[in-house]
């Protein structure tokens, strides 16, 4: 037998090609009485924007091995995180009617709905589309939600960037898949605002991409979208506040698998400079390169970042330029990343109106006791007709607000118990957690439900040291897939098993650098004490206005390990 036989494609490859452009047997299974889908449909469902999940809390409570408590998550495709007031209010209605009464803002500027039962799936997706919001391609092996700085400042650079984000999203949206989507969820009706279904996929073909693909836009002084974590990144270059083009970055990603040492997070590499009208063709060219060269046999090593890693940036440039972009590449413009804006608080727009950024703890919009964020947002959006933008830090921005209404909105925030950003700790504003348990099937530890308690313990430590005003990013995930981008944060806490986390320290607040893995399997109760040792050393040894992550990076891994000490058994 020959050794050089092509590796066997993964089973998902077969499911995609046999699916007749994402149809499979989804319609039949949707119509059946079963409370869940079979394995093949479960894979195809992702392309339509939904994940089959299980209520993991219910699993723990059950005393007999009854069937799983199936439920579904739906994720919107929302380029740039933009919603009109009517669309936001429709999404709020849907979460109350079909889901668990919460909206979950994501790290890619989208909204997730959790806890939908199979019987409510079709009605939910139809209601989203009635509000002209699609879910097609929010998940699956296609270009995912395109992210771009959400600030509605109205400056020419952001305006162009946000328009290009829409264009890339539309260009890379599934076309034949749109036919399946309309048939299954919308009774064949075509939604006028979305691209018309086609009979074939002009870019993806019937095999789609080897794996998920992620695109982001950012500015050098405002990397709020973490573009170095993206498969494809466009960094806006401007002259005299006018957009002149984009530096192209390729090959970032966070996910890795504990049992596979050949998987790891990687930062995107700078490739070339593009003029604005080259952005869409370059996006298509990178996607086509990935389609042809990504690994289709091992889904754990199938992301574009591994093509970049295995080839190196020089070979990538050569193949990209010759075979896909089909033009010589222009040299990069010198434009280092120098900042990141959370866009919280009141800001003036170019048209004289205002936008207000509100910090949403771990992206969860809910009503709980006196904290009535969901009702408060509903009241503000309906009364003042504000546009809504979601940030990649899981926060919400309300825009197009008349200056005369600012005071009334501030008093509504008080009435609904919604904290103003200036009254929140820096730590809370700079923290993010993924959903993890009870909805995520891949979680090995808690995240969204654990981080707030940890933040509560760490805040007073920082305050006592006079460090409460420092921007220190803390990102927690329930497993190493990295959904809250923990490997680029100053403090990353990654679920290892149960209540133990791997502790990472030393990224920077602007997403330019990976952190160090400092200690594995740290029990959660030991984390505050260990971190406090590092905060104390930072306080004593920082140089000038050095930021926490920069200090940690400077002193290095050995010093950090010395500071945190061994795990206490
Ligand atoms: Fe993620 C899988 C949630 C952003 C890397 N992610 C999942 C799933 C769907 C679990 C699953 O496959 O069964 C999670 C659903 C949990 C739930 O109950 O809702 C999930 N990911 C999320 C969200 C909601 C986290 C959040 O706190 O907001 C984010 C939704 C983004 C969106 O709106 O599209 C989310 N996921 C990310 C990011 C951050 C980003 O894109 O900037 C990453 C790291 C970047 C990257 O892709 O490398 C990320 N998610 C993953 C991975 C690892 C992929 C890999 O390369 O190995 C998985 C697992 C997988 O794909 O097999 C995953
Ligand atoms: Fe689930 Fe892991 Fe992503 Fe958290 S990081 S949502 S646990 S896949």
- Ligand 2 centroid – CA 296 distance (Å): 23
> Probe ligand 2: pick from 442, 486, 496, max atoms within 8 Å of CB?
442
- Round the average pLDDT of the chain to a whole number and report it: 95
How many residues are there in the chain? 569
Tokens of 144: 């995912």
What are the pLDDT digits (tens) for 203-238? 999 999 999 999 999 999 999 999 999 999 999 999
Contact 216, 233 (CB under 8 A): yes
- Report the 3 state secondary structure along 426-484: HHHHCEEECCCCCCCCCCCCCCCCCHHHHHHHHHHHHHHCCCCCCCCCEEEECCCCCCC
Ligand 1, closest atom to CA 263? Answer: 57
Selection from 369, 497, 508, 394 nearest residue 444 by Cα: 497
229 lines ligand 1 (CB under 6 A): yes
> Probe ligand 2: pick from 440, 450, 480, 496, max atoms within 8 Å of CB?
440
Q: What is the pLDDT of residue 432?
A: 98
Nearest alpha carbon, ligand 1 atom 15: 440
Looking at the predicted structure, is the pLDDT value of residue 2 above 50? no
- Ligand 1 centroid – CA 114 distance (Å): 14
Question: pTM here?
Answer: 0.96
Which parts of 39-95 are beta strand (E)? 50-54, 70-75, 82-83
Contact 368, 452 (CB under 8 A): no
CA–CA separation, 500 vs 444, rounded Å? 9
pLDDT grade for 199, boundaries at 50, 70 and 90: confident
CA–CA separation, 551 vs 381, rounded Å? 42
Q: Which residue has the tokens 């080897």?
A: 210
Mean pLDDT of 188-211: 81
What are the pLDDT digits (tens) for 282-298? 999 999 999 999 999 99
The set of residues, in sequence order, having a beta carbon less than 8 Å from that of 491 and lying 6+ positions away, is 472, 473, 474, 475, 503, 504, 505, 515, 531
Selection from 214, 201, 205 nearest residue 169 by Cα: 214
The set of residues, in sequence order, having a beta carbon less than 8 Å from that of 540 and lying 6+ positions away, is none
Contact 527, 495 (CB under 8 A): no
Residue with the bigger pLDDT between 225 and 61: it is 225
- Ligand 1 centroid – CA 483 distance (Å): 4
Looking at the predicted structure, is the pLDDT value of residue 6 above 90? no
Give, in degrees to the nearest 5, the angle at Cα 548 between 542 and 551. 50
Tokens of 460: 């007073």
51 lines ligand 1 (CB under 6 A): yes
- List all residues whose CB is within 6 A of at least one atom of ligand 2: 434-436, 440, 442-443, 447, 477-479, 481-483
Q: Give the residue numbers marked as catalytic.
A: 75, 144, 212, 214, 434, 440, 479, 483
What ligand is nearest to the CA atom of residue 443?
2
What ligand is nearest to the CA atom of residue 226?
1
Nearest alpha carbon, ligand 2 atom 2: 479
Contact 487, 515 (CB under 8 A): yes
């Amino acid at each position: 037998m020959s050794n050089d036989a092509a590796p066997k494609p993964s089973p998902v490859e077969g499911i995609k090609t046999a699916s007749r452009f994402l149809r499979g047997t989804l319609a039949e299974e949707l119509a059946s009485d079963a409370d869940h889908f079979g394995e093949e449909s479960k894979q195809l469902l992702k392309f339509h924007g939904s994940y089959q999940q299980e209520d993991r809390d219910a699993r723990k409570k059950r005393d007999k091995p009854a069937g799983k408590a199936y439920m579904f998550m739906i994720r919107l495709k929302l380029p740039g995180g933009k919603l009109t007031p009517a669309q936001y209010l429709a999404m709020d209605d849907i979460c109350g009617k079909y889901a668990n009464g919460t909206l979950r803002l994501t790290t890619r500027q989208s909204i997730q709905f959790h806890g939908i039962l199979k019987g409510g799936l079709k009605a939910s997706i139809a209601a989203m589309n009635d509000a002209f919001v699609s879910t097609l391609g929010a998940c699956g092996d296609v270009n995912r939600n395109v992210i771009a700085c959400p600030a509605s400042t109205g400056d020419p650079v952001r305006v162009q960037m946000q328009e290009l984000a829409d264009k890339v999203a539309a260009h890379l949206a599934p076309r034949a898949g749109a036919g399946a989507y309309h048939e299954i969820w919308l009774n064949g009706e075509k939604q006028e605002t979305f691209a018309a279904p086609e009979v074939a996929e002009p870019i993806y073909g019937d095999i789609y991409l080897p794996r998920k693909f992620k695109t982001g836009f950012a500015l050098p002084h405002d990397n709020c979208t973490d573009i170095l974590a993206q498969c494809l990144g466009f960094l806006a270059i401007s002259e005299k506040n006018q957009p002149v083009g984009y530096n192209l970055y390729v090959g970032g990603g966070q996910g890795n698998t504990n049992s596979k040492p050949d998987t790891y997070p990687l930062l995107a590499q700078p490739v070339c400079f593009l003029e604005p009208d080259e952005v869409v063709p370059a996006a298509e060219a990178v996607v086509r390169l990935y389609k042809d060269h990504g690994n289709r046999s091992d889904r754990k090593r199938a992301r574009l970042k591994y093509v970049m890693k295995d080839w190196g940036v020089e070979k990538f440039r050569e193949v990209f330029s010759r075979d896909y972009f089909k033009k010589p590449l222009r040299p990069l413009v010198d434009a280092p990343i120098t900042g990141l804006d959370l866009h919280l608080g009141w800001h003036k727009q170019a048209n004289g109106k205002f936008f207000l950024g509100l910090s949403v703890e771990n992206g969860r919009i809910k009503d709980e006791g006196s904290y009535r964020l969901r009702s408060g947002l509903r009241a503000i959006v309906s009364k003042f007709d504000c546009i809504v933008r979601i940030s990649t830090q899981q926060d919400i921005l309300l825009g197009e607000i008349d200056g005369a209404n600012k005071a009334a909105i501030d008093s509504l925030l008080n009435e609904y118990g919604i904290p103003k950003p200036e009254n929140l700790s820096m730590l809370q504003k700079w923290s993010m957690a993924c959903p993890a348990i009870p909805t995520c099937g891949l979680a090995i530890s808690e995240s969204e439900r654990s981080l707030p308690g940890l933040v509560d313990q760490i805040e007073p430590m920082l305050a006592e040291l006079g460090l409460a005003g420092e921007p220190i990013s803390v990102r927690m995930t329930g497993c190493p897939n990295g959904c809250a981008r923990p490997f680029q944060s100053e403090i990353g806490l990654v679920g290892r098993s149960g209540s133990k986390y791997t502790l990472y320290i030393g990224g920077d607040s602007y997403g330019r650098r990976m952190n160090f893995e400092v200690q594995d399997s740290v029990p959660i109760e030991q984390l505050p004490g260990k971190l406090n040792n590092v905060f104390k050393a930072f306080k004593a040894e920082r140089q000038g206005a050095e930021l926490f992550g920069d200090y940690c990076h400077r002193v290095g891994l050995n010093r950090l390990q010395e500071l945190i000490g061994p795990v206490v058994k």
